Amino acid sequence: MKGLEAISYYNGWNISATGIFIVFTALCTLSFIISQLHKGLMIWEKKEDYIKKAGKMFSRSKKTVPHRKIKASESFNESARQFHVLIQSMKDPFSLPKLIMLAKKIDLGHPHSTVNDLLSAKLIVPDGKGLYYWDHDVYTTILEKE
């Protein structure tokens, strides 16, 4: 066997196509790296600025939000009382989706917005594990002062 017949028999066409593809891919990658090199060099030159910005961003201390007093309306007080009774029937800690589902079942008005208001008022507080507690201290100090 000689010539083109030998090339076909030993998969020469496939091997040469694979080689061309590999070289073409390498050249495209190299041209992309060269075209973006100026951005990498700019970051390298200003790395101290970026480190300072990152340090400021991570070193910001979390400010504690002062316990705010809420000017509660009569409808809010009534909604809070209803949700307090509903939450007492659930196990502590409770899940918000389950609370909203139960509120819908017993036909409490606007359960999503009411739960949002209760969260804003710090009556419902997260436990850090995805569940929530009812804050009895806030309930007695804020809402029962009528």
What's the CA angle centered on 134, arms 71 and 130, to 5 degrees? 115
With helix as H, strand as E and coil as C, how does 41-94 read?
Answer: HHHHHCHHHHHHHHHHHHHCCCCCCCCCCCCCCHHHHHHHHHHHHHHHCCCCCE
User: Is residue 81 assigned to a domain?
Assistant: yes
83 — pLDDT class (breaks 50, 70, 90): confident
Task: Say if residue 80 is in the same domain as residue 122.
Answer: yes
Task: Say if residue 47 is in the same domain as residue 80.
Answer: no
Whether the pLDDT of residue 141 is over 50: the answer is: yes
Residue 74's pLDDT is 67
Q: Which residue has the tokens 């917005």?
A: 113
User: Is residue 42 assigned to a domain?
Assistant: yes
Residue 145's pLDDT is 62
- Write out pLDDT tens, residues 90-132: 877 888 888 889 888 888 878 888 888 888 888 888 888 888 9
User: Is residue 21 assigned to a domain?
Assistant: yes
Task: Say if residue 47 is in the same domain as residue 79.
Answer: no
Task: Say if residue 45 is in the same domain as residue 83.
Answer: no
User: Is residue 66 assigned to a domain?
Assistant: no
Give me the domain span that covers residue 91: 74-143
Residue 67's pLDDT is 46
Give 93's contacts (C-beta < 8 A, 6+ positions apart): 127, 129, 131, 132, 133
User: Is residue 67 assigned to a domain?
Assistant: no
Task: Say if residue 15 is in the same domain as residue 51.
Answer: yes
Whole-prediction pTM value? 0.47
Give 79's contacts (C-beta < 8 A, 6+ positions apart): 108, 109, 114, 117, 118
CB atoms within 10 A of CB 40: 10
Q: Mean pLDDT in the chain? A: 83
Helices (H), strands (E): how many in the chain? 7, 2
Whether the pLDDT of residue 55 is over 90: the answer is: no
Task: Say if residue 88 is in the same domain as residue 132.
Answer: yes
The number of domains in the chain is 2
Task: Say if residue 133 is in the same domain as residue 80.
Answer: yes
User: Is residue 27 assigned to a domain?
Assistant: yes
Residue 60's pLDDT is 60
Task: Say if residue 52 is in the same domain as residue 78.
Answer: no
Share of the chain above pLDDT 90, in %: 25
Cα–Cα distance between 130 and 133 in angstroms, integer?
10
Please indicate whether residue 109 or residue 143 has the higher confidence score (pLDDT). 109
User: Is residue 64 assigned to a domain?
Assistant: no
